[in-house]
């Protein structure tokens, strides 16, 4: 008769342990979902405009909460400009900055200083319909892709200045492909 209560005790311990695992799993999944809904988004890069920094098909984690746009950040913008696909570009200038581009030499000048841009694939010699120099309006940013010859960006009136409210966030790290996993370097 004594064996029966021991069995019931073990069974109760097993059920309690199983419930604790289930409870922990539900809590962890809830935290992960909340983080990905409110703090971090995963975006797939489409297009060649950010090569060699990011490539078509790369998946990136984007900090979407408590982000203030800064020069040099690679950001994701709302895709209303590009037929619904999120736009991935680098912020070159913020509100109040004056930007000039010498298309003959490919030199980008920000507030009178030539930018050092080790991340670009080629000098900025591709011209669109925006006339330079330009002063970026407050609350907006000027963006360009790192692959300047193949990037439709703020040099074109089709994209133009980007309202800061349309920035979904800053690219933090590449999560796919796995062999390229890592934090995006900002220079």
89 is annotated as an active-site residue = yes
User: Is residue 7 annotated as part of the catalytic site, yes or no?
Assistant: no
Contacts (Cβ under 8 Å, ≥6 apart) of 123? 105, 106, 107, 148
Q: Which of 14, 17, 89, 121 is catalytic?
A: 89
Catalytic hit among 6, 17, 49, 151:
49
Give the active site residues.
49, 89
């Amino acid at each position: 008769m004594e064996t029966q209560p021991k069995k019931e005790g073990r069974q109760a311990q097993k059920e309690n342990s199983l419930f604790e695992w289930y409870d922990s799993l539900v809590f962890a999944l809830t935290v992960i979902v909340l983080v990905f809904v409110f703090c971090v988004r995963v975006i797939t890069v489409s297009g060649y405009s950010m090569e060699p920094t990011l490539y078509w098909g790369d998946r990136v984690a984007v900090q979407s909460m408590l982000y203030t746009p800064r020069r040099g950040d690679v950001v994701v913008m709302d895709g209303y400009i590009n037929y619904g696909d999120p736009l991935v570009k680098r912020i070159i200038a913020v509100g109040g900055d004056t930007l000039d581009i010498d298309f003959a030499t490919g030199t980008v000048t920000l507030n009178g200083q030539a930018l050092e841009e080790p991340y670009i694939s080629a000098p900025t010699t591709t011209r669109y319909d925006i006339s330079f120099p330009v002063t970026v309006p407050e609350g907006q940013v000027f963006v360009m892709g790192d692959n300047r010859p193949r990037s439709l960006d703020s040099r074109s009136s089709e994209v133009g200045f980007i309202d800061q409210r349309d920035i979904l966030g800053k690219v933090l790290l590449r999560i796919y492909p796995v062999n390229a996993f890592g934090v995006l370097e900002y220079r």
